[in-house]
Amino acid sequence: MSTARKDRARLEPTVEASDVSCSSISVAFEEIAHSRRALQSSYRRFFFFHVLSLVPTFVILFTALVGTLQTRQLCHLEDAKEVELSGLTLRTSSRLHATHSVYQRGRCRKILDGQLLASTLALGLVGWLASYTSRKACLAFADRLIPRLLSSSLSLLSRSPRFQLPRSEHGAGKDRLIVTVAIAMQALIAESLRVLSFYWACCILVTALYLYPIQERNSYHLHAQAVLVERYTATHDGPDWAWRLSFRDPRFFVAAWSSIAWALAEFGFGAFQILHQVALYKPADVEDHIDALSNNADAMQHGRAAAGQSGFSLLSGHPGISSDQLPTPERGNAKARRMSASRALEQARQRLVQPPPDPASTSRQQNYGAMGSLEEAVEDASHSEGVTDDNNDDGDVDDDDDESSRASRSDFSTTTISLLDQELEEEVERFLVAKERSEVEAVLGVPLPDIPVALCALWRIDAMLWSVGSSLLLSASFTHAQGALGHLSHNRFDLSTHFHLLPPFEGFGFTFVGLVVLHTIVSSLWATSLPLLGFATTTYASLLFGLAIMVASLARWGLLI
């Protein structure tokens, strides 16, 4: 009886100490959980504001698309001006006014139908996808080309002490040169794809004009009269300057739809990219941590803590209670398991980040990945358990104890593999997220939460202005190089003799080269000098250039002057 009282007295302080430690850890973890909930609430608000910043750009693009659909009735192919030629009252194309048109407003609405709209939008989307796919290829090509050129060209200059640069500066300059060359190549491909998309859209438009049935057959609209009109226009009209383009030309609507499709595709990718970057700052969920803590606390209070439970709390990173505080039959084995599991986890982390240099371990990691570390962890754990079991069996050896020891080792091996695998996956995921977040911050110069959401909204609007403005400006130059489209007669559509479906490059080459150079300069500043110039300064400067390009394109199509 005295021995039982002593044992009970010896156990009571341990249980009270465990209750105090459990309650203190529960209170501390509740405070951590409360702070994490506040952090998650702040993240949700941050994510919502960035989603809201995408709305203005989408509204502008959608309004532009609907506006072009509603104004198709303003389109026409030929204006009228009465002139006397060979006793006939003819009409020529000089002024662009709907009330003087031979073919009244609404005739182009039947030509610019849903099929032409869908085809043009598809061409713009495919053009942007091809442009986006070429980015990685351009970067890989520049990464192979530039080092070879630098090594061959600087081999002679490096002998002179004047041209010797530190390795750090040489490496940074080489990286900037690679990025600039890749951006220039990508800009060249992108502008070429813009021209190609508009060219194919013009082909579809001309085909639609040829297939358009003329329902009104007026006897006084003769084909010979149309030929005389064209000859008179060619001999008496002045030079067809680019600024005389009209938004009533059907090619303007084709160009607008193609540019809107290009901008919508770029907007969709930009929205996905910015939301993905915002998701990099998402805090970890704490609901599972709270459930695990409550389960561990209940088990501690009722005295049903198992030996493997302490290993789970150690491996998973939860602030669980160690089983050393409770008297268990396998206390020594549990301690050895925790130590071996912790040591195996640390070895697996080191091998994951820094692989060992020996060939055997390298081949094993290449064949099995993280499972090689897990198997070695199981072997180390089994060896530690064997040593512990030998020390325990010196005092009292029994067959039942051996069987229970084997069963516990088998259960521990399976549990260790699953827990280490889960822990390694979580560590790899956290490492990749941290690496990607650091890369984004290196490009932006500051963490993304430090950038005002209004600037991010202007960033999206700026990209939209650049995309739509460049497409409209380039298509205007291409349209001017094509010449007059043609005219509708009483029973067919006749192309103008001055029309060239694929004009020479000299007609639009100046605009093409200018846009390529401008895109290269601005994109290179975004990619290499953004931390130096500042996000706000670069955004405002790029926005001014985008507005200038947009105004120039609208003016060239006759919408402003």
Question: What are the residues whose beta carbons fall under 8 Å from the beta carbon of 520, sequence distance 6 or more?
Answer: 180, 183, 184, 187
Model-level pTM?
Answer: 0.67
What percent of the chain stands above pLDDT 90?
30
* Mean pLDDT in residue range 4-11: 49
Choose between 535 and 367: higher pLDDT. 535
Choose between 118 and 394: higher pLDDT. 118
pLDDT given at position 113: 82
pLDDT given at position 326: 41
pLDDT at 374 over 60: no
pLDDT given at position 414: 74
pLDDT given at position 306: 40
pLDDT given at position 339: 58
* Residue 361: pLDDT band with limits 50, 70, 90: very low
CA angle 106, 110, 115 (to 5 degrees): 145
Which pair of tokens denotes residue 266? 């770029």
Place of tokens 């007026």: 218
* Residue 321: pLDDT band with limits 50, 70, 90: very low
pLDDT at 376 over 80: no
Tens-place pLDDT, residues 85-111: 344 444 443 333 333 333 344 456 677
Choose between 241 and 537: higher pLDDT. 537
pLDDT given at position 351: 54
- Report whether 158 contacts 483 (CB < 8 A): no
- Report whether 448 contacts 281 (CB < 8 A): yes
pLDDT at 410 over 80: no
Listed as own residue / partner, the contacts of 142-151 with beta carbons closer than 8 Å and 24 or more positions apart are 142/178, 142/179, 142/181, 142/182, 142/185, 143/178, 143/182, 145/181, 146/174, 146/177, 146/178, 146/181, 147/174, 150/174, 150/177
The Cα–Cα gap between 34 and 40 comes to 10
- Among 554, 26, 520, residue whose Cα is nearest residue 290: 26
Tens-place pLDDT, residues 240-297: 433 457 788 889 999 999 999 999 999 999 999 999 999 998 886 544 444 544 554 4
pLDDT given at position 131: 94
* Residue 477: pLDDT band with limits 50, 70, 90: very high
pLDDT given at position 424: 80
pLDDT given at position 97: 35
pLDDT at 73 over 70: yes
The helix (H) or strand (E) run that includes residue 83 is: strand 82-85
- Report whether 425 contacts 433 (CB < 8 A): no
Tens-place pLDDT, residues 499-529: 888 899 988 999 999 999 999 999 999 888 8
* Mean pLDDT in residue range 482-506: 76
Bridge partners, residue 494, by sequence = 487
Mean pLDDT, the chain, rounded, equals 70
pLDDT given at position 539: 92
Choose between 161 and 311: higher pLDDT. 161
pLDDT at 317 over 70: no
* Mean pLDDT in residue range 158-170: 50
* Residue 225: pLDDT band with limits 50, 70, 90: very low
pLDDT given at position 175: 83
Strands 82-85 and 493-495: unpaired
The region of weakest confidence among 172-176, 229-233, 496-500 is: 229-233
Using DSSP, state whether 486 is helix, strand or coil. Answer: strand
* Residue 349: pLDDT band with limits 50, 70, 90: low
Choose between 509 and 22: higher pLDDT. 509
- Among 271, 252, 261, 270, residue whose Cα is nearest residue 62: 261
pLDDT at 411 over 80: no
pLDDT at 322 over 50: no
DSSP one-letter code for 106 = T
pLDDT at 17 over 70: no
pLDDT at 196 over 80: yes
pLDDT given at position 89: 41
Choose between 363 and 34: higher pLDDT. 34
pLDDT at 137 over 60: yes
